[in-house]
Amino acid sequence: MRIAPSFIALMVFAAAACSKEQVDTDKPAAFGAAAAAEAAPIVAAEITGAKNVIVSEAPSDLAITIYRDDLALITETRKIILPEGRSKIEFEGVSDQMIAQSALLAEFGAITIERNFDYDLLAQQSLFSKSVGKNILLTRTDPEGGVTQISAKIIAADRGVLLEIDGKIEAFKCAGLPERGDFYDMPENLKAKPTLSLQVNAEKAGEQELTISYLASGFSWAADYVMTLDGKPDDKGHQTASLAGWLTLTNGTAISFENAPTAIIAGDLRRLSSTRRDTAPAPYFYASCWPQGSTKTGSQKNVADDTSVTVQRAYFAPPAAAMSMEPESLADKGVAQRSMKTEAEREDFGDYKLYRVPNLTTVAAQQTKQISFLKKEGVELEKKYAFHFFQPTDYQGSFLPASVEYHLDNDKDGKLAEPLPEGTFRIMTKMENDKAFFLGQDYEKDLAVGLPVEITAGRANDVILETRVISQSQDRNLSGASTYIREMAYDITNASPMPAHIKITLGRDSGYSYKISQETISLDKNEDIPTWEFTVPAESRKTLQFTAQYK
């Protein structure tokens, strides 16, 4: 596919699950459970047959910036020996989920001649598809252990594979016997690793340093918070807690990025569909025939390619060897001197927040890693038992348990005073024996300093509310609009052995404008909607009465 010349660089890359090794061309490459250990791909230079092919196996330096929306910016530096004249440069190990049109290639001492983008995956299905018309060595094992080897010609490979054997047509893996196919040669244009390829022309030979940046899918991050409560709240619900924050990074790609400077961007970026990887699934092989299923339905199981992913968890810590070195020894060993801090450092980055990991870290393939970015002690908060009403008569005739809410003080002069990236808050508490107990969790959007932080942990069945309608009336004016008048009573029962700080709101997100009168408990004048806050003593009951008028 030809790409517009406005792009600075365009690539050819292919993904695979094998490593590059020299192969004995006298023996066919093997596929199948019994022969997996014997399989080996042919090196890339042999496959292409190209002259002056320079292969860079790994970058000398790289950096990765991870965004929240399935996106990362990867910058790689490669050092190569470039011959004079035309040559092909292959960068192995780039991300297998590269967004090719985003690639930027820094200027270097050569002219890029050809800019193309295509890819093919070295997998069993693509190997069969590229080998249609060729022969393979088919090995079958009977139930008594006898082995039979037959030459078979591949005549079709659209998902399932059809073979011609002695003038007859058979389906691969449908003979009712364990079988494998051994390939005599490797088809062209299949790579053993994800590869970026450029055709260039250099005026003179010599060492060159190339820097390329590109966007890639398959990466994400989220914030995870653990809030551990200190002791018990006072009569008004005030208490303190320690708050720890972790950035949970996920690399869902097949490529590991080792010892890389890593940064995380917090914020919502606008992305067009053109800046997303093509999500069309790669072709895969399966045999739909009676040995794998039944004579009636067959089987849709993918018998060759296992696409399941096991995500590992890893927790960031500075390398022990680096921690024990003095700065002088680091310099002697050629290791860049970096901060030995264990927490990601926050920076203002335009309209976003950037968290920079203080030490080189590895973001391994198919791995989840956690990096600490927040540790605060003595964070002030209020525990409230909340009831939120859309209309005054909601929940009439039923007992409503209170929502347990924790309201954190995140004002700029408080002990927290930190922007909080979107993520999950988990509430913990410690008992006298220092055992931790999980109290609940909630999810919050990005919160700047000064915005309210309200975390709902669960329901309290010891604190309940009953709604009673004392009287109600309705007036209709000449235009047909109705005014409702409700005289209400809310009975709150606290059956717990501790005082309960109660919060009641009316009309949240309802669009109604309420006029409250004759309330037995004063309204909170600082709130935009009718709000009452008061304390119900332990093992007691309190009633709030009021009249609400609304249209």
pLDDT in the model for residue 287: 67
**Structure confidence at residue 204 (pLDDT):** 85
- Write down the H helix ranges in 130-208: none
Q: What is the value of pTM for the model shown?
A: 0.68
Q: What pLDDT band is residue 408 in, cutting at 50, 70 and 90?
A: very high
Q: Which of 216, 250, 271 is the last residue of a domain?
A: 216
> pLDDT per residue over 314-356, tens digit each?
333 333 332 222 333 333 333 334 445 678 888 888 788 899 9
Domain that includes residue 407, residue range: 382-418+445-550
- Domain presence at residue 34: yes
Residues 6+ apart with CB under 8 A from 546: 487, 488, 516, 517, 518, 519, 520
H-type helices in 51-171, by residue range?
Answer: 124-129
pLDDT of residue 115: 58
Range 147-167 average pLDDT: 86
Residue 272 in contact with residue 95, Cβ under 8 Å? no
Instruction: Judge whether 367 lies within some domain.
Output: no
* Residue range 414-473, pLDDT digits in tens: 999 999 999 999 999 987 777 888 999 999 999 999 999 999 999 999 999 999 999 999
CA distances from 375 to 204, 225, 264, 348, 440 (A): 55, 10, 18, 19, 20
Distance in angstroms (rounded) separating the CA atoms of residues 306 and 286: 11
Alpha-carbon span 149 to 179, nearest angstrom: 10
CB-based burial label for 510 (10 Å; 0-12, 13-18, 19+): middle
Summarize pLDDT for 485-512 with one digit per residue, the tens: 999 999 999 999 999 999 999 988 777 8
- At 2 the pLDDT is 36
In a domain, 431, yes or no: no
3 state DSSP class of 529 = coil
Mean pLDDT score of the chain, rounded to an integer?
Answer: 77
Report the pLDDT value the prediction gives residue 304, as an integer from 0 to 100.
Answer: 38
Identify the helix (H) or strand (E) that includes residue 440: strand 436-444
Amino acid at 520: T
Asked whether residue 287 is domain-assigned, the answer is no
Q: State which H helix or E strand residue 322 sits in.
A: helix 320-324
Q: Of 155, 188, 216, at which residue does a domain stop? A: 216
Give the pLDDT confidence of 75-105 residue by residue, as tens digits: 999 988 888 888 888 888 888 888 877 878 7
How many structural domains does the chain have? Answer: 2
Q: Of the residues 216, 248, 274, which one is the last residue of a structural domain?
A: 216
* Residue at 352 is within a domain: no
Give domain status of residue 288, yes or no: no
DSSP one-letter string for 398-458: SEEEEEEEEEE---TTSS----B-SEEEEEEEE-TT--EEEEEEEEE--B-TTS-EEEEEE
First to last CA, the chain: 63
pLDDT above 70 (res 43): no
* 280 found inside a domain: no
Q: Any idea which of 142-146, 393-397, 441-445 has the lowest mean pLDDT?
A: 142-146
Residues 6+ apart with CB under 8 A from 280: none
Query: Token pair for residue 551?
Result: 């249209």
In a domain, 252, yes or no: no
Question: How far are the Cα atoms of 363, 405, 423, 535 from residue 244, in angstroms, in the given order?
Answer: 22, 19, 12, 30
